[in-house]
Structure 1
């Protein structure tokens, strides 16, 4: 890792040791994840919460440790490197942002306090007809005497089946951008059905079906019809968190590849000593070092100026790290040959995890478009 301050180095070392002990072998990880079909283990996650790690980047008044984006990045990176099955962290810490910025005190206490204590949260924007174009969503929340009546479908909602609440973005008026509102919807709400979507990554994402789902007016997070502006204030943090997570995964993939090419012998010597592979490793390691510098620089910028939006830098981090992680996984599989394709090894799981990282949280194409716009293009 970078030469962080002593407290952050100790934090990273503690996470590394925990992961080595609790999920350091393939057998342990298979037992915790149902042979790779689940990406989150509640018991392990709650133990991390008891250690204070899940709240490292959350305010002390809500059960956190008072840190910032750098602490979040360290936890995201090192837990991903350790292959800890705590997939609920990413959506939880991303969802926490809007509650911290715009939620009521009651919402903050319940949701942020829950995240620090080990609860999982989810956020739902995408619909069958609205993915990258969030403003095209049609899931409707109609104002009624008792609150809001929600009808419609959402899709690709990560960890909804594990979450206590869903931070829902729904349409409350006909305006394209200025007609969206955020709601805090309990996952047990009447009129909400959660259905898992089978993917090659296992059980992670869900369809949500709302049928006359009534939520009280106090479920609104922030201001009605202002969700678009609230979203743009938080998407930068989301991209940085995803980048930090994939940074850890990419480091693990490179280390797994190195271990293989050092041990595998062909033509009388380790295959890593052949120039073709040695140069590929050198290029990948260099790209990964650039990713690390970018992630922690953007995290430091976010901590130095908490109210400043960083669309260019956050999108650069998300784009660079996820595309690099995918490249390392593809190269790692190639260098491992048939063993990289075999489920006996982690490489094929690495590839699945990295390929989809260039899609969720804003595709690589969307990130490039955002970056270009910051240059006036």
Structure 2
């Protein structure tokens, strides 16, 4: 993939910033409450001031109007630097939904806010509806001039940091139907909403949301009533490529770190990187990373050429390849580092944790494989139809 001068300058600027502001482990621990948080408001504000958080948003809302390739470069670079800006991922996904479907006032508030450093979250998953989005049961009912929400959401990333949550709730039909889903704008300060953190290996990242007679104004609807499923599908290109780009950066960071380690670590009188078994293993990992990078950026370029075209096969392939590659690279790197790869005083164990969960969120690897297979006309056949 060839990049233009502006893109190369962007990568160089982001690398330099991250090196100065979060280049050492000590700096990152200070910014993240000793690693318990994945987001630093201080670092995020500085990036907002530089215009990077709104780079892919329209200029009329304070953005830079950049394309998907540019956004992927920013994401890969910040991920490789381990910059603690976890709030950016959900914010840019939510902003894209408002850009497509929001009212003029909603766009002004949300898109302008994201460009200035506000954090947004999106709530889809429920205890009985993860990969099966059609099974959503959290319901919003119209009562006079309001919508009243009752139900539970789970695994909601960054809700504890966000100003607003983009809620996907059922407004008609029954669980199991893709129709009857609607998007709502919910302030995190809304009465009747409780945000409860879920402890995970990654620290404070995700939350349970409990809605108890949570009243929203009539204009809280984002887009078209009962069209939430279609609106969700329109954002798949962005979401999958964002996650793929992040894991490219994670894989590259793990690879670079383990290469440095095997060059310096000596056993039996020589660097362990000189042993053929490790040299060949690292050659394979480098090849896999480059394959993933070519796929991600080729797909991003395709999105830039046709922004309104949904690419289920290509984006699922990119997400699948990048996340599975990151998992393989980090786990192999941990093993090559031995006990040091497992110790919390080194970065590798955190890279492992990040890569493992990437094959779950945003559609599991199994879901991505199923989507890819369906694009080739391969559908599951029930026994009754055989």
- For structure 1, the 5+ residue unaligned runs are none
Aligned to 2:122: 123
Matched, 1:146 2:145: yes
Aligned to 1:103: 102
Equivalent residues in 2 for 1:137-176, closer than 5 Å? 137-175=136-174, 176=177
Name the CA distance, whole Å, in 2 between partners of 1:73 and 1:335. 29
Aligned to 1:12: 11
What secondary structure, in the 3-state scheme, does the structure 2 residue paired with 1:190 have?
Answer: coil
The alpha-carbon deviation at position 236 of structure 1 amounts to 2.2
What secondary structure, in the 3-state scheme, does the structure 1 residue paired with 2:224 have?
Answer: coil
Aligned to 2:357: 356
Name the CA distance, whole Å, in 1 between partners of 2:181 and 2:158. 22
| 1:150-169 per-position Cα deviation (integer Å, ceiling 9, x unaligned) | 00000000000000110100
Question: Is the Cα contact below 8 Å between 2:236 and 2:310 reproduced in 1?
Answer: no
Aligned to 2:339: 338
Name the CA distance, whole Å, in 1 between partners of 2:363 and 2:218. 30
Name the CA distance, whole Å, in 1 between partners of 2:109 and 2:247. 29
Matched, 1:89 2:81: no
Question: Is the Cα contact below 8 Å between 2:237 and 2:303 reproduced in 1?
Answer: no
- For structure 2, the 5+ residue unaligned runs are 379-386
Name the CA distance, whole Å, in 2 between partners of 1:186 and 1:139. 17
Aligned to 2:276: 275
RMSD over aligned Cα, in angstroms? 0.7
What secondary structure, in the 3-state scheme, does the structure 2 residue paired with 1:236 have?
Answer: helix
What secondary structure, in the 3-state scheme, does the structure 1 residue paired with 2:114 have?
Answer: helix
What secondary structure, in the 3-state scheme, does the structure 1 residue paired with 2:331 have?
Answer: helix
| 1:202-260 per-position Cα deviation (integer Å, ceiling 9, x unaligned) | 00000000000011111111101000011111122100111011111111110011110
TM-score scaled by structure 1? 0.99
Number of aligned pairs?
376
Question: Is the Cα contact below 8 Å between 2:197 and 2:207 reproduced in 1?
Answer: yes
The alpha-carbon deviation at position 144 of structure 1 amounts to 1.1
The alpha-carbon deviation at position 97 of structure 1 amounts to 1.3
Equivalent residues in 2 for 1:170-189, closer than 5 Å? 170-175=169-174, 176-189=177-190
Matched, 1:25 2:15: no
Name the CA distance, whole Å, in 1 between partners of 2:54 and 2:73. 12
Aligned to 2:228: 227
The alpha-carbon deviation at position 146 of structure 1 amounts to 2.0
The alpha-carbon deviation at position 189 of structure 1 amounts to 0.6
TM-score scaled by structure 2? 0.97
Matched, 1:80 2:41: no
Aligned to 2:320: 319
Name the CA distance, whole Å, in 2 between partners of 1:84 and 1:191. 34
What secondary structure, in the 3-state scheme, does the structure 2 residue paired with 1:143 have?
Answer: strand
Aligned to 2:374: 373
